[in-house]
Structure 1
């Protein structure tokens, strides 16, 4: 595992969870992913719980499509809810909104997770948090050596990520440019990175 050097303060400061849940599910016929049913509850609840149980606090959830309905139907007490009015621009806008909301906290890092990956639970989140506690300032879960989500962004990287985030790329370009300082944390034994994009992918919710 490649490691960057953190600080003593980082080891004690909280790691915030940042859940991107604003998408409108265009390829799902306009069904917002946050509201897809998973184990009898909206998918956004499962993803937020994984962040909390994996050791993240605070947890910020970025909403967009059907935000009012998500607020009404999903149990997200204890989470900070951010409404991204520009959600249709893509994931990059939600990442920018979420990091802006976390700027007022004392978090030393943001652990970014996507709402449409039900196979990622608290165990993978905990491994990324542990990597940060051990000194990683930039880290990502990997699956058989391939980089995936969740992604951990040390606070010192937030400004650069915000500048680079555009369209549906999120932090992808920034991570590629900083690959030499990226810690890869293998999670294939505890999580699955499959995401829900099309109706065929809905079987992942079974």
Structure 2
């Protein structure tokens, strides 16, 4: 897969300057417990010749998003090392053992400084998601004037990533435990726009077997 990271043309920037802006929050803080004691860190598994978390960050950077914030926690020194030369904001979540909600709230609060109308929540362990997928979701958010939740689906089945409008800020910051945004989406009362991205919306790599099946090489193996 070719990963494009070039800057947007000047005329494109002018066209989108008045449209709702989106910040990406890349969640990379999880403990990867399903990898087993000798399975290595899933986000350091090699895909396309680079650690998965770096590849995910490059995909995010290549999109039409205004900024990319990476939330780190477990083995954060190793994660930071493979991202050190990238123009992304890295935020530590000291409460990462408490579950995904703490990382989501950490990233959502950090991205608030970027003055965007929506936050695209992207999981770093989903190798099938492409820059084009992210851009189609951002376009759908803009088409809804920033008032709709946008959710990636696979053949109609809900998945990830998702874009959450800023109107959900307080509700997101109240999330607790090992939960994501699914319940919030279902109870928000906001319109939900589904964007079909195929199997990528459902494929994450939580085990060494899943990494291999998705075309990667687990960290620490040849």
Q: Bigger shift: 48-57 or 68-77?
A: 68-77
Q: Distance in 2 between the 1:92 and 1:106 partners?
A: 22
Q: How many residues align?
A: 196
Counterpart position of 1:4: none
Separation in structure 2 between the aligned mates of residue 186 and residue 179 of structure 1, nearest angstrom: 22
Change (3 A) 1:193 1:162: same
Match of 1:157 in 2: 168
What is the rounded CA distance, in whole Å, between the counterparts of 1:36 and 1:89 in structure 2? 24
Displacement after TM superposition at 1:74 (Å):
3.1
TM-score by length of 2: 0.81
Larger Rg: 2
Q: In structure 1, how many angstroms separate the alpha carbons of the residues matched to 2:21 and 2:92?
A: 23
Change (3 A) 1:194 1:179: farther
| SS in structure 2 of the partner of residue 103 of structure 1 | helix
105, 109, 115: which one aligns with 1:100: 109
Equivalent residue, structure 1, for 2:220:
none
Equivalent residue, structure 1, for 2:194: 184
> Residue 211 of structure 2 corresponds to which residue in structure 1?
202
Question: How many Å separate the matches in 1 of 2:164 and 2:85?
Answer: 23
1:142 alignment counterpart: 153
Equivalence map 1:65-80=2 (5 Å)? 65-75=74-84, 77-80=86-89
Aligned: 1:41 with 2:50:
yes
Gap change, CA 1:162 and 1:10, over 3 Å in 2:
farther
Residue 9 of structure 2 aligns with which residue?
none
Per the alignment, do residues 126 and 57 of structure 1 end up closer, same or farther by CA in structure 2, a change over 3 Å counting?
same
Cα distance per residue 1:33-56 (max 9 Å; x no partner): 322221221111111122122211
What is the alpha-carbon root mean square deviation over aligned residues? 2.0
How many Å separate the matches in 2 of 1:64 and 1:110?
20
Match of 1:16 in 2: 23
CA change 1:197–1:82 in 2 (3 A) is same
TM-score under structure 1 length normalisation: 0.87
* Counterparts in 2 of 1:15 and 1:180: CA distance versus 1, 3 Å: closer
The SS at the match of 2:113 is coil
Residues 60 and 80, structure 1, Cα contact 8 Å, conserved in 2: yes
Gaps of 5+ in 1: 1-8
